[in-house]
A = this chain, B = another copy of it.
Amino acid sequence: MTIRNVTIIGGGLIGASWAALFLAHGLHVTVQDSDSVAEARVAGFIRRAWPDLVALGLASALPDLARLRFVADPAEACRQAQFIQECGPDRLDTKQAILRGIEAGAPAGTPVASSTSALLASDIQAGARHPGRVLVGHPFNPPHLIPLVELVAGRRTTAETMDRAQAFYESLGRAVIRPRKEAIGHVANRLSAALYREAVHLVAEGIASVDDVDRAIASGPGLRWALMGPHLTYHLGGGEGGFRHYIRHLGPTQAARWRELGTPELTEEAIAALIAGVDAELAGLDAATLEGRRDRALVGLLRLKAELGL
């Protein structure tokens, strides 16, 4: 069954970005939000995001907002849904309450993918009437530009649900991964948290400034990680022997570094140092300008990777 009708629960930043992506792929999109300002906010986001979707070859000049509708009631919003992307607040009791609202209206077999970054599908689906169709479909901000979607099954999620969700996201050009076990933070946010823990350690210990850390990543390993992950990066770092050589000969150096890594706490002092460092780094640059540059660069980067088969 080809999916044509998608419902998004929650018209915040993530919901609006999903809406732009779904619309660009020709879907009919219902956004549920009880806040009456959501409609203007989501429509505004879509208009701003649209040129990037056109540049990526996903959309034509103007968004067809006739395919977008807003509904306040969750059950009503889900009645025609063939796929539901839940983007509510990231608290378990809230997610479970939202799920009850969805189940009051949604057809029984419709997958319900939660955008949660902090919760597990097993916990969200506990108490659901149809737990088998509940999964995690975690995007990265902004979802209309960053291709990654992490699909994670809860203990009661059916394989059919997982396969249908994967086929759906892949039809939208998403890069899907399916971790085999649930874990707090899934995969990408765990890797990000590991990196950031050491970033906070370096700043808190006075080894490096916030600006040093950001520059080190964005002018160093971050450039490579945009193109390939750490394993393939080390494969190329291993010379003719490839990853085998790297892990056998330089692996011990890695492990030695692991033992040196810090375990900082987010104390008031550390938080103050981080905030002061970010202010110094920004030097007055406003977030909208920075975000605009990032999004233009993401579009260019995605096109570049597609051209080169990366």
Q: Is A287 an interface residue (CB 8 A)?
A: yes
Task: Decide: A310 and B297 in contact? CB cutoff 8 A.
Answer: yes
Given contacts A146-B223, A252-B266, A304-B297, contact A218 B212 (CB under 8 A): no
- Interface residues as binary, A139-183 with B (CB distance below 8 Å gives 1, 0 otherwise): 011000011101000000000000000000000000101111101
- Report the separation of the CA atoms of residues A240 and B287 in the bound assembly, to the nearest whole angstrom: 8
* A contact patch SS: helix
Q: Is A103 an interface residue (CB 8 A)?
A: no
Task: Decide: B184 and A260 in contact? CB cutoff 8 A.
Answer: yes
Q: Is A52 an interface residue (CB 8 A)?
A: no
- Report the separation of the CA atoms of residues A287 and B240 in the bound assembly, to the nearest whole angstrom: 8
Pick from B205, B217, B228, B251: contact of A290, CB under 8 Å:
B228
CB of A65 to closest CB in B, whole Å: 24
Given contacts A213-B191, A215-B177, contact A300 B296 (CB under 8 A): no
Q: Is A275 an interface residue (CB 8 A)?
A: yes
- Interface residues as binary, A180-218 with B (CB distance below 8 Å gives 1, 0 otherwise): 110111011111111111110010011111111111111
**Closest B residue by C-beta to A117:** B253
Task: Give every chain B residue within 8 A of A231 (Cβ-Cβ).
Answer: 199, 210, 213-214, 274, 277-278, 281
Task: Give every chain B residue within 8 A of A146 (Cβ-Cβ).
Answer: 219-220, 223-224
Task: Decide: A187 and B205 in contact? CB cutoff 8 A.
Answer: no
Task: Decide: B192 and A194 in contact? CB cutoff 8 A.
Answer: no
Task: Decide: B207 and A187 in contact? CB cutoff 8 A.
Answer: yes
**Closest B residue by C-beta to A251:** B266
Task: Give every chain B residue within 8 A of A193 (Cβ-Cβ).
Answer: 198, 254, 257-258, 261
- Report the separation of the CA atoms of residues A224 and B290 in the bound assembly, to the nearest whole angstrom: 12
Given contacts A225-B222, A229-B213, A232-B214, contact A274 B208 (CB under 8 A): no
Q: Is A230 an interface residue (CB 8 A)?
A: yes
- Report the separation of the CA atoms of residues A251 and B298 in the bound assembly, to the nearest whole angstrom: 26
- 29 A-B pairs with CB atoms under 8 Å apart are A146-B224, A177-B212, A180-B206, A180-B207, A181-B206, A183-B202, A187-B216, A188-B221, A190-B261, A191-B202, A192-B230, A193-B257, A194-B198, A194-B261, A197-B258, A197-B261, A213-B230, A215-B229, A223-B298, A226-B226, A227-B293, A227-B297, A232-B290, A244-B275, A247-B271, A255-B266, A297-B304, A301-B301, A304-B304
Shortest Cβ-Cβ A-B pairs, 4 listed: A214-B229, A222-B225, A226-B226, A148-B220
Apart from A188-B216, A222-B226, A248-B271, 16 more pairs, CB < 8 Å: A146-B220, A177-B212, A177-B216, A179-B212, A180-B206, A187-B208, A193-B257, A215-B229, A226-B227, A227-B297, A236-B294, A242-B287, A243-B275, A247-B275, A293-B308, A293-B309
